[in-house]
Amino acid sequence: MTEFLAYAVERYTYWAYVALMLIGFYAMIAHGNLLKKLIGMNIFQTAIILFFLSISAKRGATLPIIPPEAGELVVAPPHFMNPLPHALMLTAIVVMVGTLGVALAVLIKIHRTYRTFEEDVILRQT
Amino acid sequence: MSEVLNALFLALLVILAGAAVRVRDLVGAVLILSAYGLTMSLVWAGMGAVDVAFTEAVVGAGASTVFFLATLLRTLPREQPRERRARPATLVGVLLLGGLLLLAIHEFPAWSDPASPASLHVSPRYLRDGYRETGAPNIVTAVLADYRAYDTLIETVVIFTAGVACWLLLPRRDP
């Protein structure tokens, strides 16, 4: 039992990612309000980005910025964080903003036609 | 960032996310989401991802909130989101997904393990040779703007497409 507890505490960050993802997923599929669905989508996306970024963390390492005086010296990789997830997730954030902008534009269009954000009211009108 | 602070911020994130989903007032939910974005950027800065944290502080806490509020101003929804009983199938689906994700936890390396597979395989090469090959001290910049320059270039096409889509979708001011 204590073994399991120590194990669970050691991986506490994963619990937070799973909780955030589930909150976002729940809002996306259970909420009837379209704006709330978008809020859920935003939470879901940031949870995935958080998971990727946590992979790049290394105990006792510093930011992946090489001091210029390092020059020709060989840089020791364990002293710097993994830069690849950072670069990938910068791209992901840009895509996140793109999808959010288009989704909100569609939402305004929907509201123009149906005068509501509620899914069931829209379905009844069609 | 110390472990304790990290854990506290993660707990705060879960609380804010739950509140943003739960709160019935839409403007309130959007503002809580903005606080969530700011907290998220702090967590990322603590994890060492400063470049991503800057972007999230600008985009997640700033631009997204402005987009949401602009949408609400344009539409002025009079009704509050209705409370709906969650259907059992929904809860089962969410819990099933959660169970699957929790099952996968023990396959992953422990938090901030320097010997995790992701840190041993490809990235040491970029850390070792990145500065010499590109002249950029920040390796994230080197990867983004040099090794993956075409990807970043085409990224602007994505933003352009999204901008054109918004422009086409948004109703004109004078019909």
How distant, in Å, are the alpha carbons of A37, A97, B26 from that of B33? 13, 14, 10
Interfacial A residues in 55-94 facing B (CB < 8 Å): 55-68, 70, 72, 74-75, 77-78, 80-87, 89-91, 93-94
The vertex-B136 CA angle with B61 and B143, nearest 5°, equals: 60
Where does the pLDDT of residue B135 fall: very low under 50, low under 70, confident under 90, or very high at 90 and above? confident
Helix axes B149-169, A83-114, angle to 10 degrees: 10
| A24 pLDDT more than 60 | yes
- Shortest Cα distance, chain B CAs vs residue A116, angstroms: 7
pTM of the model: 0.90
Q: What is this model's ipTM?
A: 0.90
- The DSSP annotation for A39-83 comes to HHHHHHHHHHHHHHHHHH--TT-B-SB--GGGTTSPP-GGGB--H
- Split into its structural domains, chain A has a count of 1
Distance between start and end Cα atoms, chain B: 54
b/e sequence B4-22, b meaning 16+ C-beta within 10 Å:
eebeebbebbbebbbbbbe
| B79 pLDDT more than 70 | no
Contact A98 B86 (CB under 8 A): no
Considering Cα of B84, then B90, then B91, then B94, what sign does the dihedral take? negative
Query: Is there a contact between B43 and B10 (Cβ–Cβ < 8 Å)?
Result: yes
| B169 pLDDT more than 80 | yes
User: Which residues, 6 or more positions from A85, have their beta carbon under 8 angstroms from its beta carbon?
Assistant: A52, A53, A55, A56, B49, B118
Q: CATH no. for residue A53?
A: 1.10.287.3510
Average pLDDT over residues B56-64: 91
More confident residue, A3 or B32: B32
pLDDT in the model for residue A32: 85
pLDDT in the model for residue A70: 67
The owner of tokens 């990727």 is A52
Q: What is the tens place of the pLDDT at every residue in B37-55?
A: 999 999 999 888 899 999 9
Average pLDDT over residues B106-130: 84
Average pLDDT over residues A36-62: 91
From the list B98, B105, B122, the residue facing A22 with the nearest CB is B98
- Shortest Cα distance, chain B CAs vs residue A64, angstroms: 6
When mean pLDDT is compared across A10-14, A108-112, B74-78, the lowest value belongs to B74-78
- Length of chain A in terms of residues written: 126
From the list B14, B64, B94, the residue facing A16 with the nearest CB is B14
Contact B20 A87 (CB under 8 A): no
Question: For B72, what's the count of Cα atoms within 13 Å in the CB-facing half-sphere?
Answer: 20
| B83 pLDDT more than 80 | no
Q: What is the tens place of the pLDDT at every residue in A52-93?
A: 998 888 888 888 888 877 666 667 888 888 899 999 999 999
- Shortest Cα distance, chain B CAs vs residue A48, angstroms: 12
**Cα Rg, chain B, nearest whole Å:** 21
The owner of tokens 């009983």 is B85
Q: What is the mean pLDDT of chain A?
A: 87
Contact B14 A21 (CB under 8 A): no
Domain encompassing residue A92? 2-125
Can you read off the two tokens belonging to residue A18?
A: 């799973």
Contact A104 B71 (CB under 8 A): yes
A-B contacts (CB, under 8 Å): 272
pLDDT in the model for residue B153: 92
Can you read off the two tokens belonging to residue B166?
A: 């918004």
**Cα Rg, chain A, nearest whole Å:** 21
Which chain A residues are Cβ-neighbours of B162 within 8 angstroms?
97-99, 101-102
Which chain B residues are Cβ-neighbours of A82 within 8 angstroms?
118-119, 123
